[in-house]
Amino acid sequence: MRNVVKLFEALVAIAIVLAAGLFVGSEWIIERGHAAPDDRIAIPRDPAAVAEGGRLATLAGCRGCHGRNGEGRVWASDRLTGTIAPPALARKLAGYSDAELVRLIRYGVKRDGGALFLMPTQALRSWADEDLGRIIAWLRTLKPGAADSRAETRYGPLPRLGMLTGGFEESHRTIRLAPAHRPPEIGRYVYDTTCAACHRLGDDHGLGDGSVAPALAPKAAGYDPAAFRRLSRTGAGMHGRRGGRMSAIAREATHALSDMEIAALHAYLRGEAARLGR
């Protein structure tokens, strides 16, 4: 019996040490500072630019993650995950300068130098200066409201373990990819800014929730223009079926693509599929 008690005490001690190491190690990752480019871009204030910024914010996923009016959301709340809660934007961003907002959105670096997690900077860093300026112009119109979420993100043991093992990475980026202006040939631009957060061109890509985003170029090449437009707007697949991740993405983001943007994206993806021999 005494040996059983000693074994139990040893296991408890090991568990405490592992838990402490998990917390301390992950907290260091959360709190460590990062450098990022200091991009200075013009922020327009005219109503047309603000309206376009709202559309672009939809495509960028701002409204899908933070709520249609930036009121914040709670994605998950349980003992293993913790609380994952994209914050109410007006309250969170009130103390940020325009330059700090650019660093936050484009490079995933907060005002204090800490890195964001779950921020889709893979795509956000590709938005042209003029388009990011419009998005920020729209963000500046948001006001705190009674419906704003007050929940705060607090990471549980699973994401903290992922931080230490590489399965839950920071959104910090260091290299500027964005052009100053939206390019005339916008097919690739739409892919880079709207699709690349989930999809790769020629390879399937595993997502954080365990699902897989298919290689987009060969997938899109199998659609005729009308079917691809329907997919982008509604998430309905080849045979008109809806459901799954793409239906949610269409509802929250890609329905805002213009006909011209959808056609240019489709042409670009079909060209990439041909180049890849797919």
3-state secondary structure string, 208-224? CCCCEECCHHHHHHCCC
Contacts of 8 (CB under 8 A, 6+ apart): none
Question: Of 186, 201, 199, nearest to 265 (Cα)?
Answer: 186
Same domain, 167 and 201: no
Last residue of one domain, picked from the residues 129, 152, 175: 175
Residue 170: what are its φ and ψ, rounded to 5°?
-65, 155
Please give the Cα distance from 76 to 170 (Å, whole number): 18
Same domain, 44 and 116: yes
127: in domain: yes
Same domain, 146 and 191: no
253: in domain: yes
66: in domain: yes
Same domain, 84 and 215: no
Last residue of one domain, picked from the residues 175, 201, 223: 175
* Burial of 47 (C-beta count, 10 Å sphere; 0-12/13-18/19+): exposed
- The number of domains in the chain is 2
128: in domain: yes
Same domain, 47 and 162: yes
Which CATH number is 198's domain given?
1.10.760
pLDDT for the residue 21: 78
Please give the Cα distance from 267 to 235 (Å, whole number): 19
Range of the domain at 216: 187-275
Question: Of 15, 29, 270, 33, nearest to 169 (Cα)?
Answer: 29
pLDDT for the residue 240: 67
* Burial of 158 (C-beta count, 10 Å sphere; 0-12/13-18/19+): middle
Task: Give the three-state DSSP class for 25.
Answer: helix
Q: Is the pTM of this model over 0.85?
A: yes
181: in domain: no
CA distances from 38 to 131, 159, 181, 214, 235 (A): 17, 29, 18, 35, 37
CA distances from 248 to 222, 232, 245, 265, 268 (A): 21, 11, 5, 19, 23
Question: Of 57, 172, 176, 23, nearest to 109 (Cα)?
Answer: 172
Paired with 77 in beta bridges are: 83
180: in domain: no
Report, as ranges of residue numbers, the positions in the chain whose pLDDT lies below 50: none
pLDDT for the residue 45: 94
- Which one-letter amino acid corresponds to residue 88? A
259: in domain: yes
Residue with tokens 């889709």: 120
Q: Where are the alpha helices (DSSP H) in the chain?
A: 2-31, 47-60, 62-66, 89-93, 98-107, 121-124, 129-139, 157-165, 187-190, 216-221, 225-234, 244-252, 259-275
Q: At what angle do helices 225-234 and 259-275 cross, to 10 degrees?
A: 120
pLDDT for the residue 17: 76
Please give the Cα distance from 204 to 275 (Å, whole number): 17
Last residue of one domain, picked from the residues 148, 175, 202: 175
Same domain, 138 and 219: no
Same domain, 9 and 145: yes
227: in domain: yes
pLDDT for the residue 7: 65
What the block records as the tokens of 19 is 């838990």
